[in-house]
Structure 1
């Protein structure tokens, strides 16, 4: 079972260590796509971070910290890990652990981005969703889609603007999301927006991501209490 105690903050990165591999689907920098992974890393880098080969640099970083490359999913962001938000939610026989960091310096409206040139940036929304339950591949992917809908909803409510187009941003240019399930416990065949699982993910992530975005906004205005 994944709990908040599985989350370890080492300052320059946060690690989530499962007791055994989890069924995983993600857009992470290291080991994206579908697979079974046991270690999950959210790493902060300086805003000037632009190595010649970011993938190779990430591999060397993971190895230096003792994480096996074939068992680890890793993301990066310019957001300091002190601004990471982790929450535990439970509904019936299923529970969820969330880890979220939100940086909005390169907010983008994907419906307008074809018309503009964007400079590389490390402002990123990283979302990790860990589900204590048994999910089909369909449920796993559908629940991930619900998470993306939540992200867009939160940015719209907070009036986050794409500075190039002047329109509401739908995300940032470097967002990553990872969803993983223990494959133990309550069975979920589907994970869409009106299913028990999808609506649960929607509610939990909405609350957690809203807090992260509000904290980012407060920090940029110099009123953060974190």
Structure 2
């Protein structure tokens, strides 16, 4: 638990309760785009859950309905959700808190695709980052891009290179980022690297994703930062 987020984990669900109703922007499979919500949920899935006849979105939606979570923004991952990482950063009175799960089995280098379908364990990089400042639509978009940049830096630092002839992975083919911001009457117009909210957000994402990358690499027999 952080000062701003309440995190509970009971497989297959990882639930993060936000500090009240927030504005969210994401490309999550359930309730993507601009939304209002007070919680974000991860659903852990296994290969056996996703046979060729299974609609993954229906699986997610039906599961959310069963736990009363249809009003949440929700993501899916094959990563063990117990291996989640939480970080918090405060810059000039603005606080950002991040929860991340990291798997790189289906990692890709941006701008290219590995031939064939990556084998298990797949996983993905799923991130929720909350800032306690209100943001305009433009600032939400800017902040989301900054979260993606921080994710990419953390993954690159890990040096995972499944194919020595190709660049190191920069993320996976199924990454998901959810950005949550407080609601307020005077939203900030900017959230870039020169702002306190941008610095806090970037720091929180880095500090959550870095140990997640290292954890996955060690678990799968790789040395963090050494490639291969």
| TM-score normalised by length of structure 1 | 0.87
Q: CA deviation at 1:209?
A: 0.8
Q: What's the CA shift for 1:30? A: 0.7
Aligned to 1:61: 63
CA distance in 1, matches of 2:119, 2:59: 17
Structure 1 position 218 matched with structure 2 position 218: yes
Matches within 5 A, 1:1-226: 3=3, 6-18=6-18, 20-51=20-51, 52-67=54-69, 69=70, 71-113=71-113, 116-119=115-118, 122-161=122-161, 163=163, 166-184=166-184, 187-221=187-221
The Cα offsets for residues 181-203 of structure 1, whole Å up to 9 and x where unpaired, read as 12249842211222222122112
Q: 1:163 to 1:29 in 2, by over 3 A?
A: farther
Does the 8 Å contact 1:4/1:86 carry over to 2?
Answer: no
Comparing 31-40 with 125-134, greater Cα deviation is found at 31-40
Deviation of 1:131 (Å): 1.1
List runs of 5+ in structure 1 lacking aligned partners. Answer: none
Query: d(CA) in 1 for partners of 2:44 and 2:136?
Result: 32
Structure 2 gaps of 5+ residues are 224-228
RMSD: 2.4
Equivalents in 1 of 2:129, 2:12: separation in Å? 20
The two structures have a TM-score, normalised by structure 2, of: 0.86
1:133–1:187 CA contact under 8 A, matched in 2:
yes
Q: Which runs of 4+ in 1 moved over 6 A?
A: none
